[in-house]
Amino acid sequence: LIPVAATPTRLTSLYLRLLSTRLPTPPLTSSSTILVTARCPAPPCSMSFEAAYAIIDDAFGYARMYGYKSSAYVPDCLRELYENKGSTHWDQFYKVNTTHFFKDRHWIEREFPELFPPGPLVSPLQVLEVGCGVGNTLFPVVAKSPNLYFYSFDYSKVAVDLVLSNPAYNPARMTAFVHDISTQQSFPDFIPVGRLDLCVMIFVLSAVPPHRMRHVVQQLRMALRPGGTVLFRDYARDDRAQQRFTDTTTMMMDISLPSDDAPSHSSSSSSLSPSTQNNEHASAIHSKTIAENYHVRKDGTAAFFFDTAYVQELFEAEGFEVLQNIVVKKDVINRKENKHMNR
């Protein structure tokens, strides 16, 4: 926040208030203020501040910036950034969360019995795992299924390094390496292209820009032997996770205090929230949608949400026979918060 003159003027250098920590706040009056400032980043692309941001003046005489102006989709330059810097965003994600974010997928034995062939085999099945992350599929499956050899890769070097440093990593059962299947035209020489038995791709294709998905499927077709199988699971359209992207009803960078902390003061305004009755910019939000059913999270990682028709067409167009294509629905219960989430 920065004070403005009695007659509000538009500013070329803007500041926004950051609520990074909760500090003790004295009662506010119309003449008292608390300022925590940070210089506003430059607008994306070549847009001016006026074009990029919604700026209003509140009851206390402060200019406020509320994210990018309302738009159905993010600007093209930001879309290109999200699509071309995906590995950078996932590197940062794994630097922050390491192995503590995703749970091991012990449910995979129930969903994909192909990964657990019975009895000893003459030679192990060779499995290509697309997007191994930190090994939440790799390590639980290998621990229970002795008849597999995994070639696991991810385009996040940080994630692959975490796999390689895991005590359960066994070079006799697996090879982990960095590879971007969405942009590269071939696999490393040590991959037995055309002779792999299975491909595992779980919650991975959703992170690939839609216009590159066909290339990914083409690469899988090239890697598998005739009769090889792709085991695929990913976000379904209208999942609760997608609703969180589309249900945004509050303004970005809204600095209203929570009701239990709201100070009492004599001003006609009951909190720090701006007076928005006559300002069309008050509803401006930063769009989190890159394209239809394709959204970006706050950390820059992206997620696409599929329906069965889209998946069917995507794989059949590259010569696959679809053996099963269903939507799995379940009700997830958060007992601590007493919430039910449709997934």
| H or E segment to which residue 125 belongs | strand 125-130
Positions in the chain short of pLDDT 50: 1-40, 49-50, 53-56, 58, 60-70, 248-286
Q: Identify the CA nearest to 146 among candidates 116, 174, 170, 105.
A: 116
pLDDT at 66: 44
pLDDT at 6: 39
| H or E segment to which residue 93 belongs | helix 86-97
- Residue 115 CA to residue 146 CA, distance in Å, equals 10
- Which DSSP symbol is given to 299? T
Q: Which amino acid is at 316?
A: E
pLDDT at 46: 53
pLDDT at 84: 83
For residue range 161-204, list pLDDT tens digits in order. Answer: 999 999 999 999 999 999 999 999 999 999 999 999 999 999 99
Q: Which amino acid is at 10?
A: R
Report the alpha-carbon angle 70-276-272, nearest 5.
Answer: 110
| H or E segment to which residue 96 belongs | helix 86-97
**pTM over cut 0.85:** no
For residue range 225-281, list pLDDT tens digits in order. Answer: 999 999 999 999 988 778 777 664 333 333 232 333 333 333 333 333 333 333 333
Alpha carbon of residue 275 to chain centroid: 33
pLDDT at 266: 35
pLDDT at 326: 94
